[in-house]
Amino acid sequence: AKREGRGRAEIYTDALALEAQDRAELERDLLMGLQRDEFLLEFQPQVDALTGRAVAAEALVRWAHPERDLVLPPAFVPLAEESGAIVALGDWVMGRVCETAARWAEAGMDHRIAINVSARELGQPDFFLRLRHAMAAQGAPPAMLELEITESLAMDMEPRVLDQLAALRADGVAVAIDDFGTGYSNLARLKELPVDRVKIDHSLVRDIVTSAQARTICSAVVGLIQGLGLQVVVEGVESQAQMDMLRVLGCTLFQGYHLARPMNEDAYLARYAAPDAD
Ligand code: C2E
Ligand code: CA
Ligand code: CA
Ligand code: CA
């Protein structure tokens, strides 16, 4: 028992040490990776179930780390937020999204591309200026862009940020509340935010097929958002049964593995750039 206990303790310590080393190393690698152009974007469609067509694509960053498999955001975005490297990473994402949006518009596509914006980025006094510069530099039409701001962040925005967001929206950029249902929304405030859409978090959707209670909650949230005149996008849809249920609840816009996984631009265009039918 003693040996077993020590063995466990050693493993535990090793794991922590490894984690600590990983953190410092990861942060260094991240800034280096930006310089070396190791990041890439994947796109996941938001599909209108009525037409079967994509209306927007969410841009999701990935890191082609030279010594790892493709690294997904949960492994580096939180760290990048803590260290501030997210600002540089976010600039890169903005630039790439604007460049892509300009090309898509040129090709006659009308899907918006959504950018995830973190708290740290939105807190930069020149965030909106940099976004506008990226749009202008790349020639990205505002109507091709969307910003995703998490519910908790959205509830916390200062008047200055709200004004800038409203101005951007007046110019044609769409604004979505992300991960809705995970925070503690002030519903009166939700009504006053300059937003177009609300993305319902997958945690609200997970059990709707099997649990009447989950269904009731989801239905109430959908009704609330639609009642405020906002569009609902449901995230994390993983099965046809979920989608059928959500359609009964009045949802039409869906994002999730059941429709498509995030994919590279070529795959996205091959699948969702509609041939000019009319
Ligand atoms: P998010 O904004 O909520 O993005 C949706 C996440 O859910 C993505 O994970 C996506 O791949 C995943 N997903 C899509 N469909 C399904 C599904 O049916 N089931 C499940 N279980 N998951 C699904 P990903 O790409 O790992 O990104 C994780 C988070 O990292 C994002 O969550 C977002 O908060 C953040 N993130 C991603 N790209 C960026 C970025 O460019 N900038 C910033 N600041 N954050 C980013
Ligand atoms: Ca993104
Ligand atoms: Ca998002
Ligand atoms: Ca989300």
CA of 155 to the centre of ligand 2 (A): 20
Ligand nearest to the CA of 180: 4
**CA gap 71, 97 in Å, rounded:** 19
Residue ID of nearest Cα to ligand 1 atom 28:
73
Note the pLDDT of residue 277. 47
Question: What's the pLDDT tens digit per position in 10-45?
Answer: 444 455 555 656 778 878 888 999 999 999 999 999
Which residue positions in the chain have pLDDT lower than 50? 1-13, 277-278
**Residue where the block lists tokens 């996008």:** 233
Pocket test for ligand 1, best of 116, 209, 243 (most atoms within 8 A of CB): 116
Q: Crossing angle of helices 240-248/212-227, nearest 10°?
A: 50
Structure ipTM over 0.90, yes or no:
yes
Q: How high is the pLDDT of residue 7?
A: 46
Please report the atom of ligand 1 found closest to the CA of residue 73. 30
pTM: 0.92
Cα 30 to the center of its chain, rounded Å: 20
How far from chain centre, in Å, is Cα 78?
14
Do 179 and 155 form a contact (C-beta atoms < 8 A)? no
Structure tokens at 71: 């690294």
Residues with CB under 6 A from ligand 1: 44, 60-61, 72-74, 77, 86, 90, 93, 116, 118, 178-179, 202, 236-238, 256-257, 262
Task: Report the C-alpha gap between 96 and 38 in whole angstroms.
Answer: 13
Q: What is the pLDDT at residue 116?
A: 98
**Dmax of the chain from CA atoms?**
76
Distance 44 CA to ligand 4 centre (A): 12
Phi and psi of 166, rounded to 5°? -65, -40
